[in-house]
A and B are shown apart, each in its own frame.
With several copies, the nearest count.
Chain A
Amino acid sequence: MTKFTTWIAGAATLLATAPALAQTGPIKAPSAEQMASMVDKGDTTWMLISSALVLLMSIPALALFYGGLVRTKNMLSLLMQVFMIVSIAALVWVSWGYSLSFTSGSPYIGGFSKLFLQGVDATTLAATFSNNVYIPEYAFIAFQMTFACITPALIVGAFAERIKFTPLMLFVVAWLTIVYFPIAHMVWYWSGPDFLPDTPTDTGLLWGMGALDFAGGTVVHINAGIAGLVGCLMIGKRIGYGREATPPHSLTMTMIGASLLWVGWFGFNAGSNLEANGLAALAFVNTFVATAAAAVSWAIVEQIHHGRPSLLGAVTGAVAGLVAITPASGFAAPMTAILLGLAVSPICYLFVAVVKNKLKYDDTLDVFGVHCVGGIVGAIGTAIVADPALGGQGFLDYTVFPAVAGTYDMAGQLVTQIKAVALTLLWSGLGSAVLFFVLDKIFGLRPSEDAEREGLDLSSHGERAYNY
């Protein structure tokens, strides 16, 4: 079946579930009143629960995944960093983040029209990827808020066990502002399917170029991954790196974290469809099986390399699979999603177990090796698996109304994807470097040697994670 018929059938569904429109056909540039009749409570529920799932990914999932991997004396610092980053990012998001990301402005960044959510209320709506389907704007804001919360939290793994708390919090505010919001705008901003035909240039830069990123491979993972690498290089290695053993203090916590990441990631990926329909279900299945495949393939690599598979390997593989399928989740077919999952683990393994040790950068929790590398694999892989010739979903041409399937050109798409990756690496890499540099000069990023030895839990927060 071609992509085209898929979408024709999709349109049929649409018409049937929005009967008010049945007589008149889809409405171009609908009025606010018309839009109000284009909201389905099933979609609203889906967006709200997806938002809750993505928050679950940050707290407790990511905090536990990371925290379990550090030494006992730094466990609490990781929990605290993630918890506070989520809190601060949420405030920044509703204050200026949403406006800078999702209002019309330049191709690089949005405008100030919705600063502090002005103009948003319980009746305003946000567009989806289907003509004449809308969701409450607050639901969209909540969903996107969870993305702004988790992305900076991902970064901290790269320099875990050796960062001062307050400068880190300042970094997060600044990084969101000059790195994350612009990239989110470039990749995801557009005026929506009912309005784009009349305003074809009202999009973010990368969206306009046709870059495909279903749920945030570039915006979230490559973005955070490269920032982490820059951070760990600029902050330097941990005391005792390479000499002292630093076994994970609780793989139990890491496994809980990985499991909840998997569960929550359905909100992240299938929620990014913004509608509860067959495509969301497809993204769900893809997220499921790509992850499973990556867990299995990491285990197999370890079985071959070390003679036995480890839990840490399996869950790392699962996370790599989740990262890789993220940009492709709504574009791939289950079988190509499996291939993507099988492929990503050996590549990340190479970076985590070989390249890192060779180059001797101390990326404590492999934020670069898993999120950046896995994100790049996914971003590039998306160009392949999205091809309708391979059972993929292709893309919709939204410049016509109603939208129709575009003609897929895999080579061209590959180039576009690579450009998007490169731009993200550059923007985030440079932006992060400047921020780390400035903050280091002003406040110092690294705790004293004694504080680091004692552990950040006591030295930064005056607490221990455990007092058995």
Chain B
Amino acid sequence: MKLIIAIIKPFKLDDVREALTALGVTGMTITEVKGFGRQKGQTEIYRGAEYSTNMVPKVKVEVACDDAVADRALEAIQQAANTGSIGDGKIFMLDLGAAVRIRTGETGSVAL
């Protein structure tokens, strides 16, 4: 099993979710995060004081999935989240040691 972590532009969330659903991945967890990267944030000025934070609002999508789907999921996210402009984000993949469904106590891929 894999844990896929994607940092994407907030307005792409719906597209990503649809793409994953199309693959049969229906569960995922979403976090609002801030990203630093090449993409420069807006310079904000408050009463003459400039704040150039280069901190940009992003959405983090975490999906646990079977090894079998993992690569396709990666690709699906990459395509759905892509706008071609800087700041589109990253996808990371980690090995998932175990998974448990709390309601039933099931473990492994059936738990996803």
Contacts and interface: CB of A to CB of B under 8 A. Distances in A.
A243 B14 contact: yes
B43 interface: yes
A313 B11 CA distance: 27
B47 to A, nearest CB: 5
Interface string B48-63: 1101010000000000
A357 B45 contact: no
Nearest to B52: A245
A352 B51 contact: no
Nearest to A453: B11
Nearest to B43: A462
B44 interface: yes
B46 interface: yes
A375 to B, nearest CB: 18
Scoring B11, B14, B42, B45 by chain A CB atoms within 10 A of each residue's CB, the highest score goes to B45
A316 B51 CA distance: 18
A38 B3 CA distance: 82
Contacts of A464: 44
B109 to A, nearest CB: 30
Scoring B48, B51, B53 by chain A CB atoms within 10 A of each residue's CB, the highest score goes to B48
Given A462-B42, A462-B43, A463-B44, A357 B49 contact: yes
A463 B14 contact: no
Nearest to A349: B48
B47 A366 contact: yes
A8 to B, nearest CB: 47
A245 B45 contact: no
A419 B47 CA distance: 31
Interface string B23-58: 000000000000000000011111111010100000
A458 B10 CA distance: 15
B34 to A, nearest CB: 11
A192 to B, nearest CB: 43
Interface string A456-468: 0010001110000
Contacts of A312: 46-47
A278 interface: no
B48 A357 contact: yes
B103 to A, nearest CB: 15
B51 A245 contact: yes
A247 interface: yes
Contacts of B48: 349, 352-354, 356-357
A240 B15 CA distance: 11
A310 interface: yes
A313 B45 CA distance: 10
A121 interface: no
A441 interface: no
A316 B47 contact: yes
B47 A247 contact: no
A240 B11 contact: yes
Interface string B1-19: 0000000000100100000
A248 interface: yes
A261 to B, nearest CB: 16
Interface of A: 240, 243-248, 306, 310, 312-313, 316, 349, 352-354, 356-357, 366, 453-454, 458, 462-464
23 contacts: A244-B11, A245-B51, A246-B49, A246-B51, A247-B44, A247-B46, A247-B51, A248-B46, A310-B45, A312-B47, A349-B48, A352-B47, A353-B47, A354-B48, A366-B47, A453-B11, A454-B42, A458-B44, A462-B43, A462-B44, A462-B45, A463-B44, A463-B46
Given A247-B51, A357-B49, A462-B43, 18 more contacts: A243-B14, A244-B11, A245-B51, A246-B49, A247-B44, A247-B46, A306-B45, A310-B45, A312-B46, A312-B47, A313-B47, A352-B48, A354-B48, A453-B11, A458-B42, A462-B42, A462-B45, A463-B46
Interface of B: 11, 14, 42-49, 51, 53
> 8 nearest interchain CB pairs?
A353-B48, A245-B51, A458-B42, A352-B47, A453-B11, A462-B44, A352-B48, A247-B51
